[in-house]
């Protein structure tokens, strides 16, 4: 019988996977796969160590399908599995709500300056940030103080973006998207990257939700940062490699843009020597947006049904 290995690094409701003609086997994502399981055809991964995946790539000779529960399974892609023999599917869709919520929180932080208020609270002695309180001008020109009427550009318009958009609209933002293919999606104009020179100068907040790949490496570079208005904020909940961090540091420290709220970094954890830590208008979030796949059993069961029926799988890389 086909063996399916599932990780014990999260609690899966395994009874949802029963009834298929496969045998289900738990495994430890931090240890080499036990010898009696190396003939498995299906591997579910979540937070596996690099050594576990490298070992699995060399010893699981019958493997046909890997279902990662991460939306961006860079760990699996870098482990040396034979891409000609093995289908890799992502956990895209399992993190939509958590990451969309985090992105919304970061946008509100940027507009409402919660980070700056907290900075004043933790001064010794604490200080009342008078400039942020009391009567304020309503959405002064050349500022990002509210999502109402703000131009929000979402770069990487996939599942997470589509979950975020309704909240942005409800708060009155004008949302535009960038993806590989242009067209209207969920009522939003989505353009290809060639439109960036026109869109970036009008952007109040740029939300990056790009996957990590060679094609997206340093997608946001010095040249593109220079096109943004001085008050613009960046939110990144995709992958850190999509932003040139040196260029970002320079753009923020010279006042070329307003600031950045970042959940992902080129190197994680963000090294203590990173210059980003020291910038007042940089908010560091420790890759906290996702990290808790929701309804994973449903995706695994759907793909398992398709796998056993010889049909195409969902979320193939």
Ligand X SMILES: NC(=O)c1ccc[n+]([C@@H]2O[C@H](COP(=O)([O-])OP(=O)(O)OC[C@H]3O[C@@H](n4cnc5c(N)ncnc54)[C@H](OP(=O)(O)O)[C@@H]3O)[C@@H](O)[C@H]2O)c1
Extended beta strands in the chain, E state: 2-7, 22-27, 42-45, 65-68, 87-89, 151-155, 174-178, 183-185, 188-191, 205-208, 233-236, 259-262, 282-284
Say whether residue 111 binds ligand X (CB under 6 A): no
Short-list 217, 207, 222, CA closest to 262: 207
Short-list 106, 113, 115, CA closest to 154: 106
Short-list 233, 237, 290, 291, CA closest to 263: 237
Q: Per-residue x/- mask for ligand X, residues 21 to 60, rule CB under 6 A? A: ----------------------------------------
Q: How far apart are the first and last CA of the chain?
A: 26
Region from 14-22, 79-87, 221-229, 288-296 binding ligand X, contact rule CB under 6 A: 288-296
Q: Per-residue x/- mask for ligand X, residues 146 to 185, rule CB under 6 A? A: ----------xxxxxx-----------------xxx----
Say whether residue 290 binds ligand X (CB under 6 A): yes
Label the pairing between strands 183-185 and 188-191: antiparallel
- CB of 33 or CB of 237, closer to ligand X: 237
Site size for ligand X (CB under 6 A):
30
- CB of 22 or CB of 260, closer to ligand X: 260
- CB of 93 or CB of 259, closer to ligand X: 93
Q: Per-residue x/- mask for ligand X, residues 245 to 284, rule CB under 6 A? A: ------------------xx--------------------
Which position among 139, 287, 292, 306 bears the catalytic label?
A: 287
Q: Which residue has the tokens 């209207």?
A: 184
Region from 58-66, 111-119, 203-211, 223-231 binding ligand X, contact rule CB under 6 A: 203-211
Binder among 4, 79, 99, 111 for ligand X (CB under 6 A): 99
Q: In the bound complex, what is the minimum distance in angstroms from residue 86's beta carbon to ligand X?
A: 19
Binder among 215, 268, 271, 308 for ligand X (CB under 6 A): 215
Structure tokens at 305: 């049904």
Short-list 106, 22, 40, CA closest to 281: 106
Please confirm, yes or no, whether 287 is among the known catalytic residues: yes
Say which DSSP state 316 is in.
B
Backbone dihedral region for residue 218 (phi beyond 0: left; psi -120 to 50: alpha; all else: beta): left
Q: Show which residues are catalytic.
A: 239, 287
State the residues that interact with ligand X by CB under 6 A. Answer: 71-72, 92, 95, 99, 156-161, 179-181, 193, 209-212, 215-216, 237-239, 263-264, 287, 289-291
């Amino acid at each position: 019988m086909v063996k399916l290995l599932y990780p014990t690094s999260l609690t899966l409701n395994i009874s949802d996977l029963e009834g298929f003609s496969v045998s289900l086997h738990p495994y430890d994502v931090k240890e080499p796969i036990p010898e009696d399981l190396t003939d498995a055809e299906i591997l579910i991964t979540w937070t596996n160590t690099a050594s576990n995946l490298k070992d699995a790539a060399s010893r699981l000779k019958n493997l046909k399908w890997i279902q990662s529960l991460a939306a961006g399974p860079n760990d699996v892609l870098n482990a040396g599995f034979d891409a000609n023999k093995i289908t890799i599917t992502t956990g895209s869709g399992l993190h939509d709500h958590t990451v969309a919520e985090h992105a919304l929180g970061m946008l509100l932080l940027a507009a409402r300056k919660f980070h700056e208020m907290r900075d004043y609270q933790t001064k010794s002695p604490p200080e009342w940030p008078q400039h942020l309180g009391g009567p304020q001008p309503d959405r002064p020109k050349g500022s990002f103080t509210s999502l109402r009427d703000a131009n929000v550009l979402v770069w990487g318009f996939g599942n997470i973006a589509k979950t975020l958009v309704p909240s942005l609209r409800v708060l009155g933002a004008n949302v535009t998207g960038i993806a590989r293919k242009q067209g209207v999606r969920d009522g939003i104009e989505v353009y290809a990257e060639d439109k960036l020179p026109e869109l970036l100068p009008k952007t109040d907040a740029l939300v990056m939700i790009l996957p990590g790949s060679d094609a997206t490496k340093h997608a946001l570079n010095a040249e593109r940062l220079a096109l943004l208005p001085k008050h613009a904020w960046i939110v990144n909940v995709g992958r850190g490699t999509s932003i040139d961090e040196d260029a970002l540091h320079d753009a923020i420290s010279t006042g070329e843009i307003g600031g950045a709220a970042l959940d992902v970094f080129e190197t994680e954890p963000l090294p203590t020597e990173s210059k980003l830590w020291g910038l007042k208008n940089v908010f560091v979030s420790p890759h906290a947006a996702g990290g808790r796949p929701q309804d994973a059993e449903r995706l695994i069961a759907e793909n398992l049904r398709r796998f056993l029926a010889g049909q195409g799988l969902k979320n193939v890389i």
